[in-house]
Amino acid sequence: MTMTRKKMPAKMRRSVTIEAVLDIAARQNPRDITTAAIAQHMNVTQGALFRHFDNKESLWQAVMEWIEVNLFKRVDQAANEAPTPMAALQAVYMAHIDFVRTHPGVPRIMFGELQRSENTKAKRQAGGVLKKYGARVTTLIDAAREKGEIDPAVDTASARILFIGSIQALVIQSLLVAKDIENITEKAAGVYDIYRRGIEVKR
Amino acid sequence: MTMTRKKMPAKMRRSVTIEAVLDIAARQNPRDITTAAIAQHMNVTQGALFRHFDNKESLWQAVMEWIEVNLFKRVDQAANEAPTPMAALQAVYMAHIDFVRTHPGVPRIMFGELQRSENTKAKRQAGGVLKKYGARVTTLIDAAREKGEIDPAVDTASARILFIGSIQALVIQSLLVAKDIENITEKAAGVYDIYRRGIEVKR
DNA sequence: TTAGATAGTAATTGATTACTATCTTTGGAA
DNA sequence: TTCCAAAGATAGTAATCAATTACTATCTAA
């Protein structure tokens, strides 16, 4: 039984709040998550949240930071452990899919932020994460190309865009069929297979 | 010069309203569009909207209907004019991209609806459009497979998922770099090229 | 010509939301 | 054990939004 103490040190409360947001975002449109809903989810009154965050926007910034740190932790580890660039690319893909499976709210939050019209810091952070991610992918693609693993005819930018799209494809599928998020890993293999065939040098 | 009459027949006003929503959605998060903003955009007071729609939800339903009708009009025509299933697949892809380019609000509306937690009719409509679209793609893939244009090793479901994802990939890219929506057609060709390489039979 | 129908206006309402001011409790250091 | 700063509770406020209402302008058909 997890002991949910009534009072918590500020640092712990902040991370619990971020987890609450991620948790709720798995089932609800991130933009519709109210401070009241977050507070209720963690057994605290709504006003208490503002002891730890200046405002809602700064809470979203904290969430985006969490995403950036934890996504790249997983993804970079996967890339580093792979023997070849091509293997790294696939490892990154599967690590990302697994990250999304365990944190279904993350892609919804990312996409929701990118949709926003207001140029908030959280939105810029989301864009920054995606660009940084794209740079990682580009590096791997270029390395694989030099090793002769990728067909020279393949455009790097297109390959990068489709890589991200192939992840997003599975996310959309899981939005359509709710419980597909659990089976996302199996589907991912099939989808990545097509992607790999699309970029690799013909044998 | 478009004559914006003060009084309009109800039918015209309804379609003008839908256009206004599509227009605003190109620049703003669909869920954040207020009835006041819609009304202002079409030079009418906020209350006037409710002369033509029971409520905001029914306006969204009308928008979804517009999307369904107009998307499939373009897509089906493209498919029918193509000589082979494989050519049809590419034609559908390019038609879809062109539809998105001329109506940038559409993908935002679609995925905004799919993100919603409330099981509204508009959300079900969005899911219906995507499923119907997927069925079209599946039919073409199966036909291409029978003609020996697609590698038998390729999983149909995966190919369908990635097809939709490859479109979504370009949409995300345009969210990231705002004015990329204009160049989406050029990028589309490169992305589709990889997709085609991924599914077609090796020569 | 005029009466009914249709479309639009202006003002208001109740609900919801992020945020805040003030009071209360708790837990750990001295 | 005592004390006090940090964490939370309580009870608000101002702003925003969809929706409604009473009223007016305009079109159309008999």
* B43 at interface of A, judged by CB pairs closer than 8 A: no
Domain ranges for chain A: 55-199
pLDDT of residue A203 exceeding 70, the answer is no
pLDDT tens-digit readout, B74-86: 999 999 999 999 9
3-state secondary structure of A117: coil
Q: Please, which residues have CB within 8 angstroms of residue A94's CB and are 6 or more apart in sequence?
A: A78, A185, A188, A192
pLDDT tens-digit readout, A54-102: 999 999 999 999 999 999 999 999 999 999 999 999 999 999 999 999 9
Strand D-contacting residues in A 165-194, CB cut-off 7 angstroms: none
- Would the CB atoms of A165 and B165 count as touching at under 8 Å? yes
User: Considering only alpha carbons, which residue of chain B is nearest residue A107?
Assistant: B115
* A178 at interface of B, judged by CB pairs closer than 8 A: no
Count of other CB atoms within 10 angstroms of residue A65: 14
For chain B positions 49-88, those within 8 Å of chain A (CB to CB) are none
Instruction: Map tokens 């109210």 to a residue.
Output: A34
Shortest CA gap B29–chain A (Å) = 5
Beta bridge partners of A200: A150
Mean pLDDT for B89-112 is: 96
Q: How far is the CA of A48 from the C1' of C30 (A)?
A: 29
Rounded to the nearest 10 degrees, what angle do helices B156-176 and B184-199 cross at? 160
- Would the CB atoms of A161 and B170 count as touching at under 8 Å? yes
Question: What b/e string do you get for A13-27 counting C-beta neighbours within 10 Å, with b at 16 or more?
Answer: bbebbbebbbbbbee
Instruction: Please report the sign of the dihedral spanned by the C-alpha atoms of residue B131, residue B133, residue B138, residue B143.
Output: positive
Residues written for chain B: 203
Mean pLDDT for B37-52 is: 94
Mean pLDDT for A16-44 is: 96
CB B165 within 8 Å of CB A170: yes
**Phi/psi at B65 (nearest 5 deg)?**
-65, -45
Homologous superfamily (CATH) of B56-199 is Tetracycline Repressor, domain 2 (1.10.357.10)
pLDDT tens-digit readout, A151-190: 999 999 999 999 999 999 999 999 888 777 878 998 999 9
Beta bridge partners of B150: B200
Shortest CA gap A76–chain B (Å) = 22
Q: How far is the CA of B39 from the C1' of C1 (A)?
A: 36
CA B40 to chain centroid: 25
A160 touches strand D (CB under 7 A): no
- Would the CB atoms of B111 and A29 count as touching at under 8 Å? no
- The whole-angstrom separation of Cα A153 and Cα B64 is 39
- Mean predicted lDDT score pLDDT of chain A: 93
Task: For residue B121, give both structure tokens.
Answer: 């009719």
Closest CA to A162 of B98, B202, B164: B164
> What is the maximum span of chain B, computed from C-alpha positions, in angstroms?
63
pLDDT bucket at B192, cuts 50 / 70 / 90: very high
Mean pLDDT for A117-141 is: 96
CB B57 within 8 Å of CB B103: no
Q: In B, which residues are within 8 Å of A187 by CB distance? A: 157-158, 161
CA A18 to chain centroid: 14
* CB pairs < 8 Å spanning A and B: 148
A9 touches strand D (CB under 7 A): yes
Shortest CA gap B23–chain A (Å) = 14
Listed by range, residues with Cβ under 7 angstroms from strand C are A 5-7, 33-36, 46-47, 50, 54-57; B 6-11, 13, 39, 43-48, 51-52
Share of chain A above pLDDT 90, in %: 83
- The whole-angstrom separation of Cα B140 and Cα B89 is 6
Task: For residue A160, give both structure tokens.
Answer: 């990068």
- Would the CB atoms of B198 and A202 count as touching at under 8 Å? no
Question: What b/e string do you get for B79-97 counting C-beta neighbours within 10 Å, with b at 16 or more?
Answer: beebeebbbbbbbbbebbb
CATH architecture for the domain at A55-199: Orthogonal Bundle (1.10)
Beta bridge partners of B200: B150
B46 touches strand D (CB under 7 A): yes
Task: For residue A95, give both structure tokens.
Answer: 């690590």
